[in-house]
A and B are shown apart, each in its own frame.
Chain A
């Protein structure tokens, strides 16, 4: 088989495994949708973003997209990497002719694809249920933010996975990292009610910047909506993580 066919073969299987895994279905696919509906239903009215007054649902769509992207390409992917490594699957696959890049690359692409699909789904729900419209002109901004975000958080997953030594620890470790950051990064609550020092902490991390990069093209009514600085910061995190991952990645179980 030619290499792209082997990759497609592996990708199909990884996608099937993602979909058949209850944790993936409930936490990565269903939960963001449930969150969007709950937040949009519970909180009414308007909020202020960048000096503009916008509807609360307009605020939550990009916020929950951020959650959906990170859930698929970081939380779920990290858990998959650690589980497969500790189960000995990676080690076994390294004993087959399957190229090493495909062993991990295929699963990372699953995360990116799911992130893109979840983003589209959340935008669609926002549009149909809550009348949140993204201007045509800023659509490229949304698309680029989704792809840069998913790619960067996949790289972060590979770096973080090397720090987690057991499959049981993967879920708590990843959730404990992202949940507090969602709160202080303005994903769940508007920035205007977050204390300044927490906001300052949040600006160091990529979650805040991905949220901003998705929020801008949805709130802005003109331009391409590409949030250059925020996307550069997100991408820099991804590149740094990739450098760490290529130096520290492990194929064999750590067993601890």
Chain B
């Protein structure tokens, strides 16, 4: 999950599939989308993040053709979604935030029904296999678990063999293993060359899947970039953290570390440094000298979640 992959992905990315400029939308007096620009390129996974009420769903629904826009330019697959027809719809796949499946139909019947709407559908069996529901294909949808229903939802979005897939919070409410399974499905889609527009509340999801991330807060894009560089994350200080050996004071640590070390309420000592190697070298030497194993040592940079919370923080507090 580190930098080398990013450049390759960027080089491989193609023409823009979604391009948005100056998009605005108001409900009455209240402007919920205040002039945003976005670009999503062919073959990439684009994660669109933001707290509830930030204009995220409104933006996505404008891109999907469900809502009209107030102002600005929107092109999705070279068409304006507001006036797009069935031909355009056959090239996109949608997983909406929530949709109850018809309880009377089986997995296979439902996938075959949707396949019948599209000019060049993917085979039903193949689609069901792709989302890992093959052993449930003859079960009525009411017999599926929440995670299986969501996978069926993804299957329906893929039956038309779309070029662009919108996934609106596809793993909300999943347990960890179901989420990892869903991630595999999304990773498979990317292997197939699909462009994916993902909204999510989970930063680990964006970190694991996305090539590019944009954060919307109060109707404006506050940060855009790769998960690794979002919000200047790559330029931030590293955080070295450990537990002091019993009966040791902060002042006893080596000089390079002692002056900048802070002990938090949980007892852990945090040292924020620009050059972690130097500090770690001093720390390790000191620990060996004192016969301490530094079992609890961790080194990290701020996670995507921390960056996101900082970006979205003020907005969430005011809600």
Using a CB–CB distance below 8 Å, which chain A residues touch chain B?
A: 1, 6, 9-10, 13, 16-17, 20-21, 87-89, 91-92, 94-99, 252
Let me know if A97 and B90 touch, CB within 8 A.
yes
User: In the bound complex, how far is the Cα of B86 from the Cα of A89, in angstroms?
Assistant: 17
User: In the bound complex, how far is the Cα of B67 from the Cα of A94, in angstroms?
Assistant: 12
Let me know if B102 and A89 touch, CB within 8 A.
yes
Residues of the B chain whose Cβ atoms lie less than 8 Å from the Cβ of A88: 96, 98-100
Partner of B99, one of A20, A21, A89: A89
New contact pairs (12) apart from A16-B105, A95-B65, CB-CB < 8 Å: A10-B116, A13-B105, A16-B109, A20-B104, A91-B66, A91-B99, A92-B96, A92-B156, A95-B64, A95-B89, A96-B118, A99-B86
User: In the bound complex, how far is the Cα of B100 from the Cα of A89, in angstroms?
Assistant: 7
Residues of the B chain whose Cβ atoms lie less than 8 Å from the Cβ of A6: 116-117
User: In the bound complex, how far is the Cα of B98 from the Cα of A88, in angstroms?
Assistant: 7
- Judged by a CB distance under 8 angstroms, whether B174 is at the interface is no
Let me know if B113 and A9 touch, CB within 8 A.
yes
Residues of the A chain whose Cβ atoms lie less than 8 Å from the Cβ of B99: 87-89, 91-92
Partner of B96, one of A10, A20, A91: A91
Let me know if A1 and B116 touch, CB within 8 A.
yes
Give min CB distance, B101 to chain A, whole Å.
8
- Judged by a CB distance under 8 angstroms, whether B291 is at the interface is no
Over the window 86-120 of chain B, the binary record of Cβ atoms lying under 8 Å from chain A Cβ atoms (1 yes, 0 no) is 11011010101011101011000100011011110
- Judged by a CB distance under 8 angstroms, whether B160 is at the interface is yes
Residues of the A chain whose Cβ atoms lie less than 8 Å from the Cβ of B90: 96-97
User: In the bound complex, how far is the Cα of B114 from the Cα of A97, in angstroms?
Assistant: 10
Give min CB distance, A20 to chain B, whole Å.
4
CB-based nearest A residue for B65: A95
Let me know if A96 and B89 touch, CB within 8 A.
yes
User: In the bound complex, how far is the Cα of B156 from the Cα of A189, in angstroms?
Assistant: 50
Residue of B98, B113, B118, B156 contacting most chain A CB atoms (<10 Å): B113
Let me know if B102 and A17 touch, CB within 8 A.
yes
CB-based nearest A residue for B93: A95
Give min CB distance, B172 to chain A, whole Å.
14
Q: How many residues of B contact A (CB 8 A)?
A: 25
Let me know if A97 and B87 touch, CB within 8 A.
yes
User: In the bound complex, how far is the Cα of B85 from the Cα of A99, in angstroms?
Assistant: 9
Residues of the A chain whose Cβ atoms lie less than 8 Å from the Cβ of B117: 6, 96-98
Let me know if A97 and B105 touch, CB within 8 A.
no
User: In the bound complex, how far is the Cα of B141 from the Cα of A13, in angstroms?
Assistant: 14
Residues of the B chain whose Cβ atoms lie less than 8 Å from the Cβ of A21: 104
User: In the bound complex, how far is the Cα of B57 from the Cα of A252, in angstroms?
Assistant: 14
Give min CB distance, A254 to chain B, whole Å.
14
Give min CB distance, B93 to chain A, whole Å.
8
User: In the bound complex, how far is the Cα of B110 from the Cα of A20, in angstroms?
Assistant: 14
Residues of the A chain whose Cβ atoms lie less than 8 Å from the Cβ of B113: 9-10, 13
User: In the bound complex, how far is the Cα of B102 from the Cα of A89, in angstroms?
Assistant: 8
Residues of the B chain whose Cβ atoms lie less than 8 Å from the Cβ of A252: 66
Give min CB distance, A230 to chain B, whole Å.
36
User: In the bound complex, how far is the Cα of B98 from the Cα of A6, in angstroms?
Assistant: 25
Q: With contacts A16-B105, A89-B102 known, is A97 near B89, CB below 8 A?
A: yes
Partner of B118, one of A10, A16, A89, A97: A97
Give min CB distance, B7 to chain A, whole Å.
35
Partner of A16, one of B100, B104, B116: B104
Let me know if B94 and A92 touch, CB within 8 A.
yes
Residues of the A chain whose Cβ atoms lie less than 8 Å from the Cβ of B87: 97
CB-based nearest B residue for A9: B116
User: In the bound complex, how far is the Cα of B200 from the Cα of A195, in angstroms?
Assistant: 63
Let me know if B116 and A17 touch, CB within 8 A.
no
Residues of the B chain whose Cβ atoms lie less than 8 Å from the Cβ of A96: 89-90, 114, 117-118, 160
Residues of the B chain whose Cβ atoms lie less than 8 Å from the Cβ of A91: 66, 96, 99
CB-based nearest B residue for A252: B66
Residues of the B chain whose Cβ atoms lie less than 8 Å from the Cβ of A97: 86-87, 89-90, 117-119, 160
User: In the bound complex, how far is the Cα of B208 from the Cα of A113, in angstroms?
Assistant: 51
Would you mind naming 19 contact pairs between A and B with Cβ atoms under 8 Å apart?
Answer: A1-B119, A6-B117, A9-B113, A16-B109, A20-B105, A87-B99, A87-B100, A88-B96, A88-B100, A94-B66, A95-B66, A96-B89, A96-B114, A96-B117, A97-B87, A97-B89, A97-B117, A98-B86, A99-B86
Residues of the A chain whose Cβ atoms lie less than 8 Å from the Cβ of B104: 16-17, 20-21
Residues of the A chain whose Cβ atoms lie less than 8 Å from the Cβ of B64: 95
Give min CB distance, B41 to chain A, whole Å.
22
